């Protein structure tokens, strides 16, 4: 169909369009930000991410998730990376991140290499953004030019992390509201949810669907019965909180549209996945569209990632360029 444009043409066009976004602090984000101050920056990030994913395939999803959880709290400013210290209470202790956010050591490794190459030039916030893009590519997903020039926050928000990040058991209206608060619309919501095409989830994130979805002691009726039985075998009523299951049971390490095909088959793992199909005609239509057309999904995922990466970044003289992503400069 004419609306489904040739994938190669789409990305050729995207590559030619200069990506330049106005940001808070009067500065701009643009892909060439480090071309003169640290020309090897992108290659250093790419190389270390590739090493990490080669060692552990799951790391691609983990690094993508770090960027998402960073941007939804105070914007894309690496606040998530700060450890607790002094007046700072780390976002790593929040419900969405505790015992599940991972990949911090990879970010540390990238930062150490960049500090050696060009001290105090490349921000931790930009490292997170580049690592998310590179992880997506390594899993077989789309590429895109990453606008750069973010600076790092001077604080963290535990309450923001607890309240602003969409949760697995949130209702669809709540999830939509949380996206809207970040300037992201329904198309962004469904496309970015497609990031669950890779990665693993803990039993504790979906147990409710297996045993007591509506408070009546019954499983979620929108969960396919044989799949629910399979999940119960590894996710008991109590215990096993950290048992891991693929978010995409068909191709858990490949970045593709099987996530959406699974939802059509009532095999979305998280409640927040399945409600995209069962609770809204608009999101249902998008799920069907991406299930039918992988190239369209990949194109929109790239566009929505650029948009998410532009959530209230610090630029100009705001914030700082941390020497160590885990703590403020002394």
**Helices 294-308 and 124-138: angle between axes, nearest 10 degrees:** 170
Coil/strand/helix, residue 95: coil
User: How far apart, in whole angstroms, are the C-alpha atoms of residue 7 and residue 23?
Assistant: 30
70 is in an annotated binding site: yes
User: Measuring CA to CA, which residue among 142, 103, 105, 117 is closest to residue 43?
Assistant: 117
User: How far apart, in whole angstroms, are the C-alpha atoms of residue 179 and residue 165?
Assistant: 9
β-pair partners for 245: 201
C-alpha neighbours within 13 Å on the C-beta side of residue 173: 0
User: How far apart, in whole angstroms, are the C-alpha atoms of residue 132 and residue 229?
Assistant: 34
C-alpha neighbours within 13 Å on the C-beta side of residue 75: 17
256 is in an annotated binding site: yes
User: How far apart, in whole angstroms, are the C-alpha atoms of residue 242 and residue 303?
Assistant: 33
User: How far apart, in whole angstroms, are the C-alpha atoms of residue 57 and residue 139?
Assistant: 8
User: How far apart, in whole angstroms, are the C-alpha atoms of residue 282 and residue 303?
Assistant: 19
143 is in an annotated binding site: no
220 is in an annotated binding site: no
79 is in an annotated binding site: yes
Question: Is 69 an annotated catalytic residue?
Answer: yes
Please spell the DSSP secondary structure of 97-164, one letter per residue: TTTT---HHHHHHHHHHHHHHSTTTS-HHHHHHHHHHHHHHHTT-------B--BB-S---HHHHHHH
215 is in an annotated binding site: no
Coil/strand/helix, residue 326: coil
35 is in an annotated binding site: no
Coil/strand/helix, residue 161: helix
224 is in an annotated binding site: no
283 is in an annotated binding site: no
At which residue do the structure tokens 């002394």 appear? 330
248 is in an annotated binding site: yes
250 is in an annotated binding site: no
Q: Which of 58, 65, 67, 69 is catalytic?
A: 69
User: How far apart, in whole angstroms, are the C-alpha atoms of residue 32 and residue 24?
Assistant: 18
What letter would DSSP give residue 82? P
Annotated binding site for heme b: 196
Active site residues: 69
Annotated binding site: 70, 73, 75, 77, 79, 91, 166, 196-197, 248, 256
Annotated binding site for Ca(2+): 70, 73, 75, 77, 79, 91, 197, 248, 256
Annotated binding site for substrate: 166
């Amino acid at each position: 169909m004419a609306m489904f444009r040739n994938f190669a043409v789409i990305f050729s066009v995207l590559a030619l369009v200069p990506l330049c976004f106005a940001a808070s602090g009067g500065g701009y984000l643009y892909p060439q930000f480090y071309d003169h101050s640290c020309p090897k920056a992108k290659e250093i990030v790419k190389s270390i991410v590739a090493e990490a994913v080669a060692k552990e395939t799951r790391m691609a999803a983990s690094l993508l998730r770090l960027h998402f959880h960073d941007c939804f709290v105070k914007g894309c400013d690496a606040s998530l990376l700060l450890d607790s210290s002094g007046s700072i209470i780390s976002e790593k202790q929040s419900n969405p991140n505790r015992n599940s956010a991972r990949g911090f050591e990879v970010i540390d490794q990238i930062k150490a290499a960049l500090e050696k190459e060009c001290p105090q030039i490349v921000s931790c916030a930009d490292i997170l953004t580049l690592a998310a893009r590179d992880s997506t590519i390594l899993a077989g997903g789309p590429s895109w030019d990453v606008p750069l020039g973010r600076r790092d926050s001077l604080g963290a928000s535990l309450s923001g992390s607890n309240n602003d990040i969409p949760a697995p058991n949130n209702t669809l209206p709540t999830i939509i509201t949380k996206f809207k608060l970040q300037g992201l619309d329904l198309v962004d919501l469904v496309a970015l949810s497609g990031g669950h095409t890779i990665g693993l989830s803990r039993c504790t994130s979906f147990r409710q669907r297996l045993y007591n979805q509506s408070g009546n002691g019954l499983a979620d009726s929108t969960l396919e019965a044989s799949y629910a039985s399979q999940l119960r075998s590894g996710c008991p009523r109590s215990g096993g909180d950290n048992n891991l299951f693929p978010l995409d049971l068909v191709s858990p390490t490949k970045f593709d549209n099987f996530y959406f095909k699974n939802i059509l088959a009532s095999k979305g793992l998280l409640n927040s996945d399945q409600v995209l199909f069962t609770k809204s005609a608009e999101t249902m239509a998008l799920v069907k569209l991406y299930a039918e057309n992988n190239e369209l999904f990949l194109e929109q995922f790239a566009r929505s990632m650029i948009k998410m990466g532009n959530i209230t970044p610090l630029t100009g003289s705001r914030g700082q360029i941390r020497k160590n992503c885990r703590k403020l400069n002394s």
